[in-house]
Amino acid sequence: MQQGVLTERLKNHAEESGLDVLGFADASAFKGYRLGHSIRRDPKLSLPEARTIIVAGVYIGGVTLPIWRDPWYGRTSRLYLSGYFLDMVKPLEPLVKVLTNQGFQAILCDGTTDEGSILPLKLAAVRAGLGWQGKHSLLISKQYGTFLALGGIITDAELQHNTKEEPNRCRDCDKCQQACPLGALETPYVLDKKKCMSNRLALEKLPDDVQAVMENRIGDCEICQDACPWNKKHIERPLSTQTIVSFQTQAADWKKTFYLPDLAEISEKTFRCRFDLLNTGYPFDIFQRNVLLALENARRF
């Protein structure tokens, strides 16, 4: 099959799969990627004949819950609720099938393999022309802001690669850096994982400085994203069909799901039934600890 025809076929499947953006990039190594010898740096370490990285995004910005402003409800993130917390696999499977049916190899970027992931997705997305990395280090798309969950495929198919990267449009804006209450963005473009609340809310022992600013957060933080002007501009629109379907199977009634006094009572079994579908990997005891602390904060409010 011709390169152009295959690219078009993949684009059609992407649309049917509920993917909002799709880009193609060459599969050379990510030289500036500072992760030592991580397999993520070089797609050819995963697939020696790699020629193309396919990067896809699903818009998740529409998942704002008004109850997040109420201290009696547990707050999470759009990524958490989207079910693509660790990786975005399901919507990409049809694309893998198109490629393998044509005799190509295609490997999905899946957070459960290797060292957690096989592709640095933000960098891959920049190369594929989907946006630029903001000072919060996240990918900003002109159309969707930071609210794109990303997924990727490495393949040996030679597809039409993007050749023009989006220019960085952050200029002198430092709203995300100023907004982070824990100083995780002191160096622009580099997230200090050791300070980031999203990371630290999942720690076994919750540090005091996190407890002091977590409010009703029970997992994840979106403060830097809420401050980003590109998210204020971006178009609010309903979620793609696929995302809505997966959401409905998870929890039809978010209000009931996140009411803190009820959450504090749920058993590990109920937690598994309700929250494992969100693919967050959060252990029950850490989730429960955060719920109890959030409840304490609500009582103090």
Q: 268-275 and 284-300 are packed helices; what angle lies between their axes, rounded to 10 degrees?
A: 90
DSSP tally for the chain: helices H, then strands E: 15, 6
For 125, 266, 272, 274, 277, the CA distances from 269, given in Å and listed in that order, are 37, 8, 5, 9, 13
What is the C-alpha to C-alpha distance for residues 277 and 80, in angstroms, rounded to an integer? 10
The distance of closest approach from Cβ of residue 293 to ligand B12 in the complex, given in angstroms and rounded to an integer, is 18
**Binding-site string for ligand B12 from residue 246 to residue 285, where x marks contact by CB under 6 A and - marks none:** ----------------------------------------
Return the structure tokens found at 137.
Answer: 């280090």
109, 153 Cβ separation under 8 angstroms: yes
Return the structure tokens found at 172.
Answer: 């002198």
45, 113 Cβ separation under 8 angstroms: no
Among 136, 195, 217, 234, binds ligand B12 (CB under 6 A): 136
Return the structure tokens found at 279.
Answer: 């693919």
Among 2, 5, 32, 103, binds ligand B12 (CB under 6 A): 32
User: Which range, of 5-13, 62-70, 131-139, 287-295, touches ligand B12 by CB under 6 A?
Assistant: 131-139
- Which residues inside 96-115 make contact with ligand B12, applying CB under 6 A? 109, 111
**Binding-site string for ligand B12 from residue 48 to residue 77, where x marks contact by CB under 6 A and - marks none:** -----------------------------x
Q: How many CA atoms lie within 13 A of 206 on its CB side?
A: 22
The distance of closest approach from Cβ of residue 155 to ligand B12 in the complex, given in angstroms and rounded to an integer, is 16
The distance of closest approach from Cβ of residue 1 to ligand B12 in the complex, given in angstroms and rounded to an integer, is 29
Q: Does 195 bind ligand B12 (CB under 6 A)?
A: no
Q: 93-101 and 3-16 are packed helices; what angle lies between their axes, rounded to 10 degrees?
A: 150
Q: Which is nearer to ligand B12, 51 or 120 (CB)?
A: 120
Q: Which is nearer to ligand B12, 210 or 221 (CB)?
A: 221
SS3 call for 157: coil
Among 10, 22, 50, 88, binds ligand B12 (CB under 6 A): 88
Per CB under 6 A, residues contacting ligand B12 are 32-35, 40, 77, 79, 84, 87-88, 109, 111, 116-117, 119-122, 133, 136-139, 146, 148-150, 189-191, 193, 196, 198-199, 220-222, 224-225
